[in-house]
Chains A and B, each alone.
Chain A
Amino acid sequence: MIGFAQPWGLLTLVSLPLIILLYRIRPKRQDAVVSSLQFWQQAIRIRDRHRRFHRVLRDLNLLLLLALALCLGLALAQPHWQVSTQASTDAVLIIDTSASMNTRVNALGRTRFDEARAKAADIIDALPTDGRLLIMTSGRAPRALTGFESDRERLQATLRAVEPTHEAGDPDAAFTLARSLLRGRQQAQLHVVTDGAFDAASRFSTAGSDIHLVGNPQDNVAITRFNLRKSLHAEAAYDAFIEVHNFSNDPVTAPFSLSIDSTLQSQQDISLAANSATALLIPVSTTPRGRATAQVQIDDALAVDNTAWMGFAPVFSRRILLLTPGNFYLETALRALPDTRLDVITQPEGATDTAEQQAAELRGYDVVVFDRIPVPELGRGNFLLVDTAPVGSPFAVAQRGDAVGVDGTDNSHVMQDLDLSQVRINAPRLVSADTLPGWQRLFWTSDADLAVRRLQPGQRQIVLGFDLLNSNFPHQTAFPLFIRKSIEWLATPGFSLATGPGGDRSRQVATGEPFTLAFPPHTEEVLIASPNGDAQAVALDAPRYTVADTSKAGLYQYSIAGVRHYIAANLTDAAESNITRRVSAAAATTTPPDAQLTGITQQPLWPYLAWFALALLLAEWGVWCARRGHA
């Protein structure tokens, strides 16, 4: 298909009739009377017979001129040839592995995914001889399981290894990825094997895909929300909030139970009207320390959403060691941190312990704060250094300067919303993060940096280059906030040993969502158990580890210092628990639109036209010379 970048260039084609007109213009004929036309007629006949070639040349001249003008006109319009970048018979097979695919379709336990796998196997068998197929799954995030593979056996083996997840599906992401993979391929096909239990009016429609629907209408009751919060009425009391949804067309009554730390907190029957939801607010009298389980005891088609879990962080989980000759402001700020156990060791200023003593003291603390205490060579761990520096570091030899103010602050999370404009510091250490590789400055004067930080594998440090007691910084409102943010940065975000997201104690993620665990600095190995009982020993290079595979709903467990920790992965997604088919087969077309699946490139044609016009010009000149010579 040809397009034009500058269509106005086609206006020059009006020169074509002008050329023809000019060619048809002849000088005015003069009358000449001859005695007889007899010999003239014969002569003209003979001459013209001999000059046919001349006439052909004349006509050829005109044709070449017309072709030349045509080429130039087209070249000015800058035409381009829209071509597909690649031609193939490639296809992508998206197999829905979302939680709804676990829906039972019969009493024998056959699921929608079993049907989907069988249909996908048929698609693989029906591939053309030169066809290639890429298998990808559509869960919370799409995953390509193969490349474009033509080996049927390998494709079937891959398919057999696919299992449904407990994740909420994101078909839009799957369609987007599939189309990007098929872009630039002609005759590409997109097969989607799904139960159609997702919103058909999603941002990326299913148009252009071959939709293979599986499953049949089924009833489902699901826990779509499960939270635990501190009670507003009592200090140590909590409220559990549970939402239960009935997605069937019939009313349902089913027993419900809530257990916390193996203690049954509530058991009741709940009645749900057809296609309705109910919310339960259950007071919990005990402080949850481990895990909670909410369950609707009903034998419906999809079991995974009948239970919701929750893990809880230990109450005292952050440990801070303060080594100081005495600093009221710093100690007060650290003690004000929530869920923190602070140990303070008072040492005379400049006193040192042996390396072995210090290593023994530091072990087991999440953060160690050195205040004006000489610092030994630091290993793994998180450290806040106040007016001191490790042995051998550039800070030890830095010169002190005159009283300064804070001229600038970093815009990182640590320094965000901190007003240090009134801070005055006497005799700071004049250090520069620019000369220290790996260090990042937090706030500074015009001459040097006042606070810097460093992130290394297994180690985090924040260094204040001045004595807090020799400044008015502790008197500023920004001081306790700075201390808290510094400790949070040092003690690692995410599921740290202290608290969960939002400050509450619950620890749960949506199925398929990865979570990061933080461990004490000296932890070298941890054993993480998944909901189905599989345990994985993880060697830690850093005091944190990200659990990526949370495709199964349930409790993920690990132990630290004999204390068992739980992280819950719940479906709790109303859209996914609604296993009603919302996509019809008729909504999907059988032929993918070329614009979506075929990569179109625009190859400019004007250079070729320009060269061709030049060749035509030379040819026209040659013909003109030949015609003149022949005449």
Chain B
Amino acid sequence: MHAPPVQPPSANTAADSVGYRSVFDDAFLRRLERLPFLVNTPARGPRAGERIHARTGAGLEFSDYRPYHPGDDVRHVDWNVSARLDQLFLKRYASELDTSVHVLLDISTSMAFGTVSKLDYGRQLAAALAVIALSNRDRFALSVFHQTRDHALPYLKGKHHLHTVLRFLSEIDTADAQTTNPGTAVETTTPGRNGGGFVDTFNEVVGNRASPGVLVLISDLLGDSDIAAALRALRSRQLDVIVVQLLTDEELSPALDGVLKLIDSETGEDIRTTVDAALLAQYLAQLHAHLNTVEATCRQAGFRYLRSSTSVALEALILRDLGSPRRRAGAP
């Protein structure tokens, strides 16, 4: 994560020239719209939405009755029931509130690695989450980040913002990194990011940018020397954090053999070595040790942890893993 990052979306890109239908087909979108949302956490959003909160309030949907107490608003007295039972009862309604979904997408160089790149896969996953959230009238925000910079799409609500999100995502890998999106994208340089890695970005997002709700982190979680500390920075009482760690098949089972010059896709560094079965075994042992550390850190922090290969169909990941709220995260 120390190499030049994948370029953030360009501000000058014509919004209509890139449609999200080039990314998702219609059948997939229809299935997404029918999905129950991925979390069962009660909505905590301050604005009215389509999700019924357990807290009674000013919603339209009847919840239950309770005896009248002095001081209650007499307008909520159900006179029919009171007359029948000869006691005053108040009619209660469920509060209808929205929720916030904030997606953090890693666009560091290592995310571009793979036959099916992790960035593409993560971009599609973020788009899918946006479709789901906006279809359910939830608020959706998107932040892409790399080592020193991040770009954020502020909270949006309503399906009509979906194309904004998709356009933002489709422009992530465009080359012009110096421009900002004139509409909604905001470029932020996090103070003290130099050398801070993910920790500063995550602190910024949790402390200032994310509303209470769901935070989905999409990253390969490679390269940063202290991934555990970075993940712990996401802990917040108001956030349900879902960590989606994306890996490619080339990383999970590299098909390397012989005398090679291994080149780091991020830094360009290289190692000259002979790859044999012993080295592959050691590599896999190191990789899985790292993955286990990440997973254990997530468990300890109360995060949901999902690990997926980019070879897994995106539909399967969303419908099977993210669609089932309490499904246990596991290996792809």
Contacts and interface: CB of A to CB of B under 8 A. Distances in A.
B254 A34 contact: yes
B331 interface: no
Nearest to B109: A35
Contacts of B286: 38-39, 42-43, 46
11 contacts: A31-B261, A32-B256, A33-B113, A33-B265, A34-B113, A34-B263, A35-B248, A36-B264, A36-B265, A38-B290, A43-B279
Interface residues of A, number: 24
B261 A47 contact: no
A51 interface: yes
Interface string A21-45: 0000011111111111111111110
A631 interface: yes
Given A38-B223, A44-B282, A47-B278, 5 more contacts: A29-B272, A31-B261, A36-B110, A37-B267, A40-B262
Instruction: Rank and list the top 10 A-B pairs by shortest CB-CB distance, nearest first.
Output: A43-B282, A35-B113, A39-B286, A43-B283, A37-B264, A29-B261, A32-B260, A42-B286, A35-B110, A36-B222
B296 interface: no
Contacts of A37: 262, 264, 267, 269-271
B220 A27 contact: no
Contact of B262 (A34, A42, A47, A631): A34
B278 A40 contact: no
B83 interface: no
Contacts, number: 92
A46 B259 CA distance: 18
Nearest to A28: B259
Contacts of A38: 222-223, 286, 290
Contacts of A46: 282, 286
Contacts of A32: 256, 260-263, 275
B220 to A, nearest CB: 7
A51 B282 CA distance: 12
A36 B223 contact: yes
Interface residues of B, number: 36
A399 to B, nearest CB: 105
Which secondary structure dominates chain A's binding surface? mixed
Given A27-B259, A34-B254, A35-B114, A44 B264 contact: no
B16 to A, nearest CB: 34
Interface string A44-60: 10110011000000000
B250 interface: yes
A35 B250 contact: yes
Nearest to A31: B261
A363 B68 CA distance: 190
B287 A39 contact: yes
A176 B275 CA distance: 76
B54 interface: no
Contact of B260 (A31, A39, A42, A47): A31
User: Which of A27, A30, A32, A37 has the most C-beta atoms of chain B within 10 angstroms of its own C-beta?
Assistant: A32
B264 A34 contact: yes
A133 B91 CA distance: 142
Contacts of A36: 110, 222-223, 264-266
B290 A27 contact: no
Interface in A1-37: 26-37
B258 interface: yes
Contacts of A29: 259-261, 272
A50 to B, nearest CB: 8
A590 B114 CA distance: 89
B60 interface: no
Contact of A40 (B113, B267, B271, B276): B271
Interface in A576-612: none
A27 B267 CA distance: 25
